[in-house]
Amino acid sequence: MMLTAAEKRLLNIYYSGSAEDTAAVVRDALADITEQDERTAAVSLLLKLEAMGTAEFEGYDAGNGALL
């Protein structure tokens, strides 16, 4: 699954070790994200994290949001 640059940036900020944990942190952060473009990216990242399997999530390098 490909992530946009904005989604990669958010993944770097909110990375929590697993797709489920990261999704929970992003979900909690939504209340504080006020810029519409960042909010849109956060919701999109959430949907991708929820659809992502463990192996796919573990294939991402948390340092740059790219597939290893």
pLDDT tens figures, 5-42: 999 899 989 999 899 999 999 999 999 999 999 999 99
Tokens of 25: 């942190």
Q: Give residue limits of the domains in the chain.
A: 5-60
Shortest CA distance to 59 belongs to which of 49, 67, 51?
67
Distance CA 24, CA 6 (A): 18
pLDDT of 65: 52
Summarised one tens digit per residue, pLDDT across range 33-46 is: 999 999 999 999 99
pTM: 0.84
- DSSP three-state, residue 30: helix
pLDDT band at 68 (very low <50, low <70, confident <90, very high): very low
